[in-house]
Structure formats: structure tokens, C-alpha cells
């Protein structure tokens, strides 16, 4: 089965240039952010307007005995039909945009009394991360080399037609769906051409990767595939050898994750519905358990 063609606004961009020390924040804005925003449907005029470098008065700052106006300046604010909808901060490729002061900075812009938008995003050319002000963890996070694979999600969340009304509720879990339909009684469920964008080493002899699946014209489901070291060995030759070696290292105390930034690797999976519900702060889900890798 051939992989489907996906829209990619950065298909001509050479990501190797991100390693050039002269490629800084202004280059990220011009070469990466601008094409993304244009493809989403934003421009300099109404109704889907980009507001650049808007000055926001800092409400708390005073210096010495004299109060001086201090301004906050977000890189991009987005206005849809006269209403502010979200904002984006561009950073240099060397800047960490996860769990840093930069996230706090963007959050403060989003919550400012003159802004009050639900979404804020950061992009350093290597990664794109989107937050909702009501959630501690990202709503969307991906390597920019995989922007084509995430474009539908990005447009659904931030496109002008959707951003003011989009529901951020998580996708339905496919494992729970199959269990409700009685498929947990089946010892083998075959899923062809499953894309692998990452593999995580969760615990001793426990690995996982995630994907999505659509049934007919219905809404997509999220699915987790759990497996052990025997299945990992079956993936050898189907994923890069460097990734296999990293994942084969003994588990210590922290989750180890390998992201595939160059492409999606696809396999055919023989699996079954698992027997243990998993839970995190956002959801309850039921992973599938891989019996073997068929191709």
C-alpha cells in the first residue's frame, strides 16, 4: 500500500540549514513561520489578520521609586473576524520551547487583559508546540520535518474556520471502542500499513507507539500499540538501526522516546485488545497488545 500524499507547506525547505549559527529567530519567522501562516489562511488584512509585535502594557512593573511603562511584545497575534483567536512566538533553532521560561512568557501574553486567547504556540524551526491555557501539557507537539503528517491536526485546531469554535477534547480511544464492540474476544486483529512516528520505552520490557485510525467517514480514533522486547526485535530492519540500539538499552528510571524526524515508518501489525486500562491526567485508554509484526 502506498503512503498517502499529504500537504506540506515546507516541502522545499532544507532543514539542514537550522544547524547554521547564522540562522536565527528572524530566519525562522521568514522561512518557516510565514509559509505556515499563509497556508493556514492568515494574512495582513481582515478577516483573518496577523498582528505583528503588538505592544501590551505590563501591569506590575515599577523601577525604583518611579513607575515606568514596560511593554510585552508577542511576535504574532491572530485575529479572526475581529476577534483575537491565538498567538505564536518564534524562537531560534537553539532555543528549547518545551517546559521553559519561554512557555511561561507565551502563556503570560495569552492571558494578558488585552489579549485573552485560548491558544498559544511556539516554533523554533525544529519543533512546533501548541498549548491551551487551561491545560498543562501541549495540545499538539511535533517535529517540523513531519509537518505534512500533522497538517490536518494543525489546520483543524488553528485554521481561521475552526479556531474560534474548535473543541480540544481528545480523540476517542480505539481500544475502548473495540472492547465495546466485543472485539476484545478476538485473539488476532490485523492492521496494515500502520505509521510509526515515535517509539517510547515506558518500563522494563514495555514499549509503545501511537497512531490514529478512521472508520469509514467517521471521526478518527487514537490507538496505542504496546509490546515487549521480543516484538522490538521484530522491528529491527524496519526502523533505523540507531533507534533500535537506543531502545534496546536497559531501562533505568525515566521514559526514553525515539522520534523519527525523517519519515514515518510503516508496518503491518498483528494485535489484540489489551486487558488493562491505562490512565493519565487527561484520559482513560485501552492499548492494543502486539502479537507480532507481519511486515
**Are the C-beta atoms of 283 and 210 separated by less than 8 Å?**
no
User: What is the distance in angstroms between the CA of the first residue and the CA of the last residue of the chain?
Assistant: 12
Cell matching residue 160: 481561521
When pLDDT is averaged across residues 181-209 and rounded to a whole number, the result is 92
pLDDT digits (tens, 9 = 90+) for 38-78: 999 999 999 999 998 776 655 444 344 445 454 467 899 99
Confidence (pLDDT) at 167:
62
Please determine, for residue 217, whether its predicted confidence score (pLDDT) is greater than 90.
no
| Whether pTM exceeds 0.75 | no
The torsion of the CA quartet 224, 225, 229, 232, rounded to 10 degrees, works out to -110
Q: Looking at the predicted structure, is the pLDDT value of residue 277 above 90?
A: no
CA dist., res. 262 & res. 145, Å (int)? 6
Contact 122, 102 (CB under 8 A): yes
Burial 152-184 (b: 16+ CB within 10 A, else e): ebbbebbbbeebeebeeeeeebbbbbbbeeeeb
What backbone torsions phi and psi does residue 199 show, to the nearest 5 degrees? -135, 135
Over its C-alpha atoms, the chain yields an Rg (Å, rounded) of 22
Name the strand (E) or helix (H) holding 241. Answer: helix 241-248
How far apart (Å, rounded) are the C-alpha atoms in residues 42 and 45? 8
Q: Where are the domains of the chain?
A: 15-158, 172-293
Cell of 104: 511561561
Q: pLDDT tens for residues 1-46? A: 233 446 889 999 999 999 999 999 999 999 999 999 999 999 999 9
Where does 201-240 have alpha helices with state H?
Answer: 229-234
Sign of the CA dihedral running 234, 239, 243, 245: positive
Query: Exposed/middle/buried for 125, CB within 10 Å: 0-12, 13-18, 19+?
Result: buried
- Domain 172-293 classified CATH 2.40.50? yes
Write the CA distances from 173 to 31, 181, 209, 239, integer angstroms.
37, 13, 14, 26
> Within 10 Å of residue 231's Cβ, how many Cβ atoms?
19
Length of the chain, please? 295
d(CA 174, CA 191): 12
Backbone φ and ψ of 75, nearest 5°? -65, -50
Which grid cell is 275? Answer: 486487558
Q: Tell me which architecture the domain covering 15-158 has in CATH.
A: Alpha-Beta Complex (3.90)
d(CA 234, CA 293) in angstroms, rounded, equals 6
Judge whether 88 and 120 are in contact, CB under 8 Å.
yes
- The percent of residues in the chain predicted with pLDDT above 90, rounded, is 54
pLDDT in tens, 247-273: 999 998 888 889 887 788 999 999 999
Amino acid at each position: 500500500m502506498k503512503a498517502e500524499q499529504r500537504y506540506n507547506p515546507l516541502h522545499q525547505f532544507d532543514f539542514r540549514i537550522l544547524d547554521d549559527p547564522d540562522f536565527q529567530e528572524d530566519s525562522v519567522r521568514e522561512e518557516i513561520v510565514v509559509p505556515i501562516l499563509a497556508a493556514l489562511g492568515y494574512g495582513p488584512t481582515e478577516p483573518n489578520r496577523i498582528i505583528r509585535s503588538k505592544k501590551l502594557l505590563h501591569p506590575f512593573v515599577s523601577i525604583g521609586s518611579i513607575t515606568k511603562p514596560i511593554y510585552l511584545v508577542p511576535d504574532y497575534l491572530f485575529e479572526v473576524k475581529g476577534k483575537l483567536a491565538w498567538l505564536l512566538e518564534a524562537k531560534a533553532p537553539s532555543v528549547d520551547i518545551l517546559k521553559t521560561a519561554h512557555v511561561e512568557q507565551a502563556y503570560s501574553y495569552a492571558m494578558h487583559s488585552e489579549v485573552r486567547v485560548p491558544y498559544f504556540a511556539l516554533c523554533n524551526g525544529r519543533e512546533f508546540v501548541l498549548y491551551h491555557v487551561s491545560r498543562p501539557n501541549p495540545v499538539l507537539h511535533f517535529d517540523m520535518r513531519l509537518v505534512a503528517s500533522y497538517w490536518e491536526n494543525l489546520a483543524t485546531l488553528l485554521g481561521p474556520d475552526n479556531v474560534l469554535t474548535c473543541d480540544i477534547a481528545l480523540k476517542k480511544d480505539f481500544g475502548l471502542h473495540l472492547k465495546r464492540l466485543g472485539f476484545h474476544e478476538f485473539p488476532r486483529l490485523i492492521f496494515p500499513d500502520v505509521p510509526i512516528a515515535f517509539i517510547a520505552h515506558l518500563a522494563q520490557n514495555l514499549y509503545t507507539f501511537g497512531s490514529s485510525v478512521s472508520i469509514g467517514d467517521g471521526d478518527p480514533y487514537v490507538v496505542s500499540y504496546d509490546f515487549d522486547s521480543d516484538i522490538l526485535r521484530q522491528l529491527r530492519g524496519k526502523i533505523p538501526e540507531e533507534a533500535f540500539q537506543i531502545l534496546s538499552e536497559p531501562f533505568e528510571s525515566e521514559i526514553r522516546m525515539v522520534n523519527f524526524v525523517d519519515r514515518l515508518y510503516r508496518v503491518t501489525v498483528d494485535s489484540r485488545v489489551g486487558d488493562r486500562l491505562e490512565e493519565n491526567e487527561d484520559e482513560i485508554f485501552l492499548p492494543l497488545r502486539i502479537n507480532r509484526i507481519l511486515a
